[in-house]
Homo-oligomer: A and B are copies of this chain.
């Protein structure tokens, strides 16, 4: 028997929520060895990190790291400071960016993932951004992801060397970008993800029980209703 071909490595941002779990399962299914990366940035809902570790294990991640980020960089946000998480917002019709926005969070997360990818020799990043059923954060939009990919290929030794060979180095995978929440749930089920262990709530109880009325709970609830 010949040795199995090596699977390429990918770095996947894993939050403990439903979306990033589905991204991890998707990239595993696509044939990647997935190295999961989570962040401790002083978020109120620390149950996230416990669930991220469970999800990484359950979905066969090759490794899982938790990087700590200095909270003072971010200043005030309802996810990091003592500001109330809005409840019962009309998420279907709201067009503003809510107070749960954390300045430049996905830029910092992807920058870390990029450094980790280059040091591991990975050329693929996965992130669970979604431009359909989302809270309106600017760093979840397709234009943001494209701009990051362009930056990543200019910012790194591996990117420069690939460009010299006429290749693009890094690719940012966003398999959920154009899915509804119900579509994400269906995709997770197809891939065998135990969605019950994921946590989406912006303001869960210490036990992990969701509040039921923040934007994330509303979007999740509607998704499960629509997915049946």
Contact = CB atoms under 8 A, between A and B. Distances in A.
A37, A70, A114 — most chain B CB neighbours (10 Å): A70
Interface residues of A, number: 45
A115 B107 contact: yes
A67 B73 contact: yes
Nearest to A11: B73
A41 to B, nearest CB: 10
Interface stretch (A15-23, A152-160, A208-216): A152-160
A119 B102 CA distance: 9
Contact of A115 (B104, B120, B138, B157): B104
The 4 nearest A-B residue pairs measured at CB: A75-B119, A103-B118, A104-B115, A67-B70
Given A37-B73, A73-B116, A139-B156, 14 more contacts: A67-B69, A68-B68, A70-B112, A73-B115, A73-B119, A75-B118, A97-B160, A104-B155, A111-B111, A139-B154, A143-B154, A144-B151, A147-B147, A151-B151
